[in-house]
Amino acid sequence: MQPISRRRALQLGGLGLASIAIGTGGLTWRTLSGNTAAAQQALVEPATLTSTEGLLTVRLEATEGPVRIAGRQASALSYNGGLPGPTLRLRPGDRLRVRLVNRLAQATNLHVHGLHVSPERNGDNPFVTVEPGSTFDYDYQLAHDHPSGMFWYHPHHHGMVADQIFGGLYGAIIVDEPEGEFGPIPITRERILVISDISLNAAGNIRPPSAMARMRGREGDLVLVNGQSAPTLEAKPGERERWRILNACTARYLRVRLDGQRLRLLGIDSGRLAEPRDVEEILLIPGNRADLLVTTAQGTSRLQALPYARGQAMGMGGMGPNDPQADSTSESTTLANLHVAGNKATPLPPVTARTHQPDLRGKLLAARRELTLAMGMGMGGGMSFTIDGKEFAADRVDQTTRIGTIEEWTITNTSPMDHPIHLHIWPMQVIEEGGKPIKQPTWQDVVNVPARSNLKVRILFDDFTGRSVYHCHILDHEDQGMMGVIDVRR
């Protein structure tokens, strides 16, 4: 008998054959919800908590229990009972205080991904452990010249990061442009789109990944936008929307398209382009954020994630069409539907050139480093994920650098899979890919190092000293060892 592809199975499911087992996971949530009732829902944004007079104090309770996912009641992890957690809204110069309350059955902690703050003590310190039943008070001070943009928070307790993010622990952070600097970007409205994925069984509980999915990096059956399945967005023609899109997926790469609409990219992560750039498609690797202007045109457009081949784990080449991991990268997914109708909106003033970010090319380097990412057979017979031949050890320092200096890192990937590499605290200017210089280098905090290729970045280690980490943002890889420790000294 021919194996049934998931798309085919879904079609059959729509004809009332919903009990067909799919892949190894059996009956899935997606089969049951069928993307029908849920697809009619209007997009809902997470609650927003905004700073006042330079301060935002929040309590984030990590819990396990009932939560709304794709229009139905499920059981997952969440901050304050919502998936995603609340959006934290700040301005440069603000102080953010977070009381993290751990109501999970396992240890956790908090990382403020992309924020340029101190990695020490109760700052953005990934070495903190918050045991079950205990609390921890984080305190982050943003400088007055802190970059604006979208950032996010999620757990970072080594060994459990993939489970906890996949389970539902993430939320957005927005740092608004300072008043006056360039003036606000004239827009009709802003939307925050937190994209994540999850696998749920028929009872609405999280389906744990297979050993193979952990090697590849797990991808969920459901791709969610703000916890919803293919929600609907409404607009009038000629409006200008600002979309801030976060890829909070544990391993899934998102090639995002919105055909039929004009898209202009303002930047990726905290990187700002000098002028908005017309784009047809954006690649968001795990952890990335896009800051996008959408100028609406009459009609209905699908926000889609197109397939991206990120390679296969070694020796895992035999995945059949029934394998959910193989499927998720070979099909496109509808993330949301945009309906544009009604009277044409009055045109907005043009978007002027924005900020200018430093260019580290041609600057004096304090060091050149080579980092090598590898996947191999580990000692126990399983797969090992290493940087420079070593698995993560919290008490070992892998790179020692000096505050205020510029370094060039060449990151070489010897494995047959892409790895998205994230450095905490200090963003990276990507200057070369596969040995070819990049004409307009961008600033990002997660960069893609393609399979059997390399990437060159420059980093300015400014403002902070202390120990922090860099790692693969396919969080299964990070949990299995693809992470290193950096110590920035005076």
How far, in Å, CA of 208 to CA of 186, rounded?
Answer: 44
* Per-position x/- string for 103-122, each x denoting binding to ligand C2O as judged by CB under 6 A, each - no binding: --------x-x---------
What are the structure tokens assigned to 112, written together? 């403020």
**Piece of the chain touching Cu ion by CB under 5 A; list 32-40, 71-79, 186-194, 472-480:** 472-480
Residue with token string 């968001």: 284
Whether residue 406 contacts residue 368, with contact meaning beta carbons closer than 8 Å, is answered with: no
End-to-end, the C-alpha distance of the chain in Å comes to 66
Does position 191 interact with ligand C2O (CB under 6 A)? The reply is no
Minimum gap (Å) between residue 220 Cβ and ligand C2O: 17
Indicate whether 207 belongs to the interface with ligand C2O (CB under 6 A). Answer: no
Given Cu ion, ligand C2O, none, residue 242, with its beta carbon under 5 to 8 Å by kind, binds none
Q: How far is the CB of 109 from ligand C2O (least distance, A)?
A: 11
Q: Minimum distance from CB of 287 to ligand C2O (Å)?
A: 5
111 touches, from Cu ion, ligand C2O, none (C-beta below 5 to 8 Å by class): ligand C2O
Distance CA 95, CA 307 (A): 40
**Smaller CB separation from ligand C2O, 111 or 467:** 111
| Binding residue for ligand C2O, selected from 424, 456, 458, 477, defined by CB under 6 A | 424
Q: Does 193 bind Cu ion (CB under 5 A)?
A: no
Q: Transcribe 34-64 into DSSP letters.
A: TTTTGGGPBP-PPPEEE-BTTEEEEEEEEEE
Compute CA distances 420 → 160, 180, 285, 328, 373, whole Å. 18, 35, 6, 18, 11
Which helix (H) or strand (E) is 8 found in, with range?
A: helix 6-14
Select the residue interacting with ligand C2O from 214, 422, 456, 477 (CB under 6 A). Answer: 422
Q: Is 101 a binder of Cu ion (CB under 5 A)? A: no
Cα dihedral 228, 229, 230, 234 sign? negative
Assess 215 for contact with Cu ion (CB under 5 A): no
Among 116, 146, 156, 157, binds ligand C2O (CB under 6 A): 156
156 binds, among Cu ion, ligand C2O, none (CB under 5 to 8 A by kind): ligand C2O
419 binds Cu ion (CB under 5 A): yes
Residue 218 binds ligand C2O (CB under 6 A) = no
Question: How many angstroms separate the CA atoms of 192 and 89, rounded?
Answer: 12
Task: Indicate the residue among 162 and 175 with the shorter CB distance to Cu ion.
Answer: 162
Helix (H) or strand (E) holding 328: helix 324-330
Tell me if 449 contacts Cu ion by CB under 5 A.
no
419 binds ligand C2O per the rule CB under 6 A: no
Token readout for 113 is: 């991904």
What is the DSSP code string of 86-143?
A: PEEEE-TT-EEEEEEEE-SSS-B--EEET-----STTSS-TT--B-TT-EEEEEEE--
* Identity of the residue, 195 or 474, whose beta carbon is nearer to Cu ion in the bound complex: 474
Task: For the CB of residue 173, give the shortest distance to ligand C2O in the complex, in Å.
Answer: 12
**Short-list 312, 382, 320, CA closest to 24:** 320
CA nearest 245: which of 154, 340, 307, 174?
174
Interface pattern 370-409 for Cu ion (x via CB under 5 A): ----------------------------------------
Contact by Cβ (8 Å): 64, 105: yes
The answer to the question of residue 158 lying near ligand C2O (CB under 6 A) is no
Residue 471 in contact with ligand C2O, rule: CB under 6 A: yes
The three-state (H, E, C) secondary structure of 233-250, written as one string: EEECCCCEEEEEEEECCC
- Classified as helix, coil or strand, 254 is strand
Report, in Å, the least distance between residue 143 CB and ligand C2O.
21
Q: Does 242 bind ligand C2O (CB under 6 A)?
A: no
Cβ closer to Cu ion: 200 or 472? 472
Q: How far apart are CA 106 and CA 167, in angstroms?
A: 13
State yes or no: residue 446 binds Cu ion (CB under 5 A): no
Count the site residues for ligand C2O by CB under 6 A.
9
Using CB under 5 A as the binding rule, whether residue 474 contacts Cu ion is answered as yes
| 472 near Cu ion (CB under 5 A) | yes
CA proximity to 383, closest of 159, 215, 216: 215
Nearest-angstrom CA–CA distance, 294 and 274 = 18
Of 250 and 296, nearer to ligand C2O (C-beta) is 250
Minimal CB distance to ligand C2O: which residue?
113
Nearer to Cu ion, 91 or 477 (CB): 477
Q: Which of 85, 287, 324, 441 binds ligand C2O (CB under 6 A)?
A: 287
**CB-based contact 49:87 (threshold 8 Å):** yes
According to DSSP, residue 229 is labeled: S
Least distance from ligand C2O to the Cβ atom of residue 482, Å:
11
Give residue for tokens 């990049």: 438
252 sits near ligand C2O (criterion: CB under 6 A): no
Q: Where on the chain is the footprint of Cu ion (CB under 5 A)?
A: 419, 472, 474, 477
Q: Where on the chain is the footprint of ligand C2O (CB under 6 A)?
A: 111, 113, 154, 156, 287, 422, 424, 471, 473
